[in-house]
Amino acid sequence: MKRQAFGSVVRGGLAVGAAFGMVLLADGTAMAADRWVYWTEGNDDIEIDLHRDGTFRGYGVFNADPHGLVNPVPGDAFQACDKYADGKGIEIQRKFEGGSWQTMATTRGMNAPHCSLWETDNMPEETFLGVRVCIVEGTHRTCSDDRWTWA
**8-state DSSP, 87:** S
At 69, the pLDDT band (50, 70, 90 cuts) reads confident
pTM for this entry: 0.77
Task: Tell me how crowded residue 143 is: count the other CB atoms within 10 A of its CB.
Answer: 17
Per residue in 20-58, pLDDT tens?
343 333 333 445 689 999 988 777 999 999 999 999 999
17 three-state secondary structure? helix
Provide φ and ψ at 8, rounded to 5°.
Answer: -65, -40
Which residues lie closer than 8 Å to 32 by C-beta, 6 or more apart? 52, 53, 142
**Burial annotation 96-133 (CB, 10 A radius, 16+ → b, else e):** eeeeebebbbbbeeeebebbbebbebebeeeeebbbbb
pLDDT of residue 20: 38
CB 93 within 8 A of CB 101: yes
